[in-house]
Amino acid sequence: MSQKVALITGASSGIGKEAAIELKNKGFTVYAAARRIDKMQDLAAKGIHPISLDVTDDESMVHCVNKILKIEHRIDVLVNNAGYGSYGATEDVPLEEARRQMEVNVFGLARMIQLVVPSMRKNQFGKIVNVSSMGGKIWTKFGGWYHATKFAVEGLSDCLRLELEPFGIDVIVVEPGGIKTDWGIIAAENLKKVSAKGPYAQAASTVADGMIKNYTGNQLSKPELIARTIAKSVTVKRPKTRYLVGFMAKPMVFMKNVFGDRAYDRIIKMFS
């Protein structure tokens, strides 16, 4: 059989880029998708195929998948990695921004699945990896809309797993903890911008400063860890339904599950 074909969204940096490299090294034909192809020339030099994709644009998504299918006649692995975090007090975040975050993190992910499943079902084989977060299991102050998207990804993935299993398609959720990418800096900057004034200003500033300190420090896990986890999940015969991995992921979810909501709330308040 020819090499398995993998499509990775949000592949211009961070987890997506490292996953593209890892899967290429594992022998996959890899298509690295993102809005900015110019940011993926280093991947092209490694034999990875950059392809344009905007997960908020249906025409772009259809074109991306159809182009790969025309060339390769198959997509065996879809890694739904595209996403971002936009923090801010729920009262302050404009609904336009909330909808955009849902569009990128949930509806774009779902549409990509709709587009690849027919070919996977035809081949009776497929691996769909939805990159969620420990934030799909726990919560933090000012992260309401972000956590809402990740909780949605968790529920959607569980239902998909039941629907697609009869066709030989695995649905896998990867739940990273704190990872050394620009995610936290972007989220913190959005938080400062959205809630810089008004009743949440002081608390928002404290949380944002803490996030920036955390994401510019050296404690967080490297994105290569998540890339290796993704590669493992799509190469084993029977993958786990979930992979909770990365800085503080298991301890935080454990504390919430064991001690309950109120105790977990108190823990979060200690750091904000």
* Cβ within 8 Å of residue 239, ≥6 positions away: 127, 170, 172, 232, 233
Distances, alpha carbon 94 to alpha carbons 37, 140, 193, in Å:
30, 19, 12
* Cβ within 8 Å of residue 19, ≥6 positions away: 8, 11, 79, 81, 226, 227, 230, 231
Single out the catalytic residue among 17, 24, 141, 150.
150
- Find, among 214, 229, 195, 204, the residue nearest to 81 by Cα: 229
* Helix, strand, or coil (residue 209): helix
- Told to judge if 132 belongs to the known catalytic residues of this protein, a careful annotator would answer yes
Single out the catalytic residue among 12, 86, 132, 221.
132
- Told to judge if 70 belongs to the known catalytic residues of this protein, a careful annotator would answer no
- Told to judge if 150 belongs to the known catalytic residues of this protein, a careful annotator would answer yes
> Distance between CA 88 and CA 188 in Å, rounded?
9
> Distance between CA 95 and CA 242 in Å, rounded?
31
Single out the catalytic residue among 146, 215, 243, 264.
146
- Residues taking part in catalysis: 132, 146, 150
